[in-house]
Amino acid sequence: MNLLSRIKSMFRPALTCADANAFIAEYIDDALDQKTRKSFKKHVEMCPNCSVFLEQYNSTIDLCRNDGKVAAPPELVETTLEFLRSRGVGEA
């Protein structure tokens, strides 16, 4: 993405970080409609925080799916859980 469109996106935020965090589980489950999915991807592309978060979220899910087969680095799981807690995600 070039600088101009990056600046434009900043003035017309399609999605906030809170929105992106709320959509992340559905994005991974492929449960978002096309428009939301597009906005989500766009946000993650221009937002370093969310891009790292998505990466960590994916890694954590992979580790969970590999339950027992691959040792999950405790720091990574803890960091991700901490992040989720700080965002108020996962609180029932």
Residues making contact with Zn ion (CB under 5 A): 17, 20, 47, 49-50
Residue 19 vs residues 26, 27, 38, 62, 81: alpha-carbon distances, Å: 12, 12, 13, 23, 18
Instruction: Pick between residue 59 and residue 72 the one whose CB is nearest to Zn ion.
Output: 59
- Name the minimum Å distance from CB 17 to Zn ion: 3
Nearer to Zn ion, 12 or 65 (CB): 12
**Least separation in angstroms between CB 50 and Zn ion:** 3
CB-based contact 11:17 (threshold 8 Å): no
